[in-house]
Amino acid sequence: MTRDALLLVSRLLFAVLFVPSGFQALANIAGTSDYFAGLGLPLPALAAWGTGLFELIAGLLILIGFQTTIVALLLAAFCIVAGFIGHHGQGGDDAMLAFLHQQMLMKDIAISGGFLALAMAGAGAWSADGRGFGIGADVT
């Protein structure tokens, strides 16, 4: 596969994670707010709306490859913050649940690393940033 094809697949895989997550958060805003309230966040309804909109919009921007470097850096930071807020130290005395949360934190950190790599590489020619697919740039 060419570099541009791999970058397109990378963006698609990131979008598959964030677009549905944002949509689900917005579709069940009461449940999302309750989850954030359970974590002790102030203004859980605002956090729910903000998180849902951010995940949905950022996921779509990554998918089309628009402002990819900026969006990927924001998503990298989001993954670290969300991972620590949602998973660090969670699980209490339940060893299985604590292990699950530890694994989810590590997954969020790894996803953040992927976003940093995407920020460095850029979206590739087959994107809005690269103006690929015959929209004004030569695709090699």
pLDDT surpasses 90 at 11: yes
Instruction: Sketch the domain layout of the chain as residue ranges.
Output: 3-121
Residue 41 backbone zone (phi > 0: left; psi -120 to 50: alpha; other: beta): beta
- pLDDT greater than 60 at residue 137: no
Q: How far apart are CA 125 and CA 11, in angstroms?
A: 12
- b vs e for 2-33, b when ≥16 Cβ sit within 10 Å of the residue's Cβ? eebeebbebbeebbeebbeebeebbeeeeebb
pLDDT at 132: 59
Considering the entire predicted model, what is its pTM? 0.90
Element (H, E) at 57: helix 44-64
- 48 CB neighbour count, 10 Å cutoff: 23
Q: What is the pLDDT of residues 86-101, one digit of tens each?
A: 999 888 899 999 999 9
Report pLDDT for 15: 98
